[in-house]
Structure formats: structure tokens, C-alpha cells
Amino acid sequence: MRFIGTKEDGRVVVLGVPLDVTTSFRPGTRFAPSEVRRISFDAIESYSPYLDADIEECDVGDLGDLELPFGNVTGALDIIEREVSRLLERGKRVVCFGGEHLLSLAAVKAHLDVYPDIVVLHVDAHTDLRDEYLGERLSHATVLRRIVDLGADFCQVGVRSGTREEFAFASDRALFFHPFSLPDAGRLSEVLGGRPVYLSLDVDVLDPSCCPGVGTPEPGGVMYSELVGFLAGLSGLNLVGADVVELCPLVDSTGNSAVVGASLLREVILLLCAP
């Protein structure tokens, strides 16, 4: 099948965002959109038995990749924000497919205009709550802190790496903080009620065994089947936007990480297709 790339428009749209500028350990997230498209032709079914839903029965378009300047962080973030805003104005639901995590800052900013009470559901191995990192305030390691600065509420689940200060900040400020593993969907529903939710899914929440191809591997993560079960549980939420970020496919010469990224993208798209 070709689960992405066959239609150029739809109610739900996938936007490739090959941002790859502030990565401090292993760069290469820029290759995720093209690699996932390439393998999606042959390696992935359009039908998800987990959600009992099929992308070919949904209204999904693929907008291709944004062209971003290299080495210019603010210029790139502006381009992303403008494009997401343009799509939201046209009534789309948008899935940004990274690229590095910093793209979420631009995407959330665009969503905040339309959904002022949006909650960011941050699924990640890392707290990403530093105020600055290596002297920079805009970084994949500060992205959630910058999102907090925008005034958005957030939940954080699955984290297992950060400074003592970041863990304290998350404990203190998150609507819901669930480190080390993924919570029951019921618990999240209680917290989030019917508020609009933006899902920011950093694939490194998975154990590196499940997805070796990430920029900042952190052992001790969740297994794929736990994550896909967690995602299925989100179907009761009011999900209005999402991103899937930090896949760094070329690190993994087996190619399996790209298959994992494509599979997660399928699940996230299907979640956003729900009525």
C-alpha cells in the first residue's frame, strides 16, 4: 500500500517537517519524512488491527515536506507556524511529521490561536524543560519549556531522563505528570475532560530496542505494544492536532526504526480521523 503520499489533500493532512538544527547528540531527523514515505509503499498495511480502522477508508492527504533553511532556527520555526496556521484556517487537522522536537513549538503556537485552551500531551523520554541548553533557549531540549512560556497547559508521560530541576518543574507545573511509564487512558480522560488536546509524540519514549533510530536514545522506555495500546486509549479524547518527532532513521541500518515510525504515524493519523 501507499498509506501516505497518494492524496494531496484531505480533512487530515500530514506535513513533513525535516527540521534538524539544534540536535545536540546525533543529528539526522531531517531524513525521517523521506525515509518513512519510501518504506511506506511496501512495508506497512493501511489497516490497523489495533484501531480496527483503515487509512484508505479515511480522508487523508499528504502535503509533502516543508523546505526549511539550514542553520536558521527562527526562520524555520516561522515557516512551520505559518504553514500550520494556514492549514488550520482551512479547517484541517494537521499531523506534523518531524524532524526534531523543536518543531512542536511552532505547531503548538499555531494551534493556540485556534484552540486557546488546548492541552499539550507530551509523550517523551526526556523532560525537555530546561530553560536553556548549551547557551541557547531554542533547542530540542527546551521545547516544552518554551511551550509552557506560551501559556499552554501540559501533561507529561513516559519521561525517564532530565535534571533534578526538570523533574521538579514537571511535578509542580504539569496538569498530569506520569514518569517512567504510560498511564491508563481513563486517568488521562479525567484530567483532560473534553478540552482540545495536541499530542506531541517523541518516538524516543519507546525503549531504544524498539526504535534504535533516534537522536537521543534513553534506555528503559516502553515497548511498542504498550505505546500502541496507550494511543488506542486516546480515542476518547478531543484530539485536534499532533506531531510525531525525533525519528532519526539512518542511525538504524536495519531500517526497522523507519517501519516503527511509519506504523506510529498510521495510528496517529487514524486517531485524528475519528469524528
Question: Which spans of this chain sit near a copy of itself (rule: CB under 8 A)?
Answer: 20-28, 30, 34-35, 38, 41-43, 45, 47, 49-50, 52, 54, 67, 69-73, 75, 133-136, 138-139, 160-164, 167, 179-180, 207-210, 212-213, 216-221, 223-225, 228, 250-256, 259-260, 263
Cβ proximity to a copy of itself, 90 vs 223, nearer residue = 223
**CB of 213 or CB of 241, closer to a copy of itself:** 213
Spatial strand order of the sheet with 153-157 comes to 60-65, 12-17, 93-98, 238-245, 196-202, 119-123, 153-157, 176-178
Total residues found in the chain within this entry? 275
Q: Measured from the CB of residue 45, what is the shortest distance to a copy of itself in angstroms?
A: 5
Is the Cβ of residue 93 or residue 122 nearer to a copy of itself in the bound state? 122
Which run of H or E residues covers position 108? Answer: helix 103-114
The C-alpha atoms of residue 147 and residue 104 are separated, in whole angstroms, by 8
Q: Enter the C-alpha cell of residue 275.
A: 469524528
Residue with smaller CB distance to a copy of itself, 50 or 175: 50
**Smallest separation, CB 80 to a copy of itself (Å):** 14
Beta bridge partners of 96: 15, 243
At closest approach, how far in Å is the CB of 181 from a copy of itself? 8
Helix 224-233 and helix 185-192, axial crossing angle in degrees, nearest 10: 40
Phi, psi of 186, deg, nearest 5? -60, -40
Nearer to a copy of itself, 163 or 235 (CB): 163
**Which residues, in sequence order, are CB contacts of 235 under 8 Å at separation 6+?**
51, 271, 274
Whether residue 119 contacts residue 237, with contact meaning beta carbons closer than 8 Å, is answered with no
Q: What is the nearest approach in angstroms of a copy of itself to the Cβ of residue 120?
A: 21
Complex with a copy of itself: residue 170 or 240, whichever CB lies closer: 170
Nearer CB in complex with a copy of itself: 224/238 = 224
How is residue 202 written as a grid cell? 517523541
Give the nearest distance from C-beta 218 to a copy of itself in angstroms. 8
Shortest distance (Å) from residue 213 CB to a copy of itself: 7
Residue type, 94: V
Answer whether 116's CB lies under 8 Å from 91's CB.
Answer: no
3-class secondary-structure state, position 215: coil
| Cell numbers 500550520: residue | 84
β-partners of residue 133 are 136
Q: Report in angstroms how near the CB of residue 275 gets to a copy of itself at its nearest.
A: 19
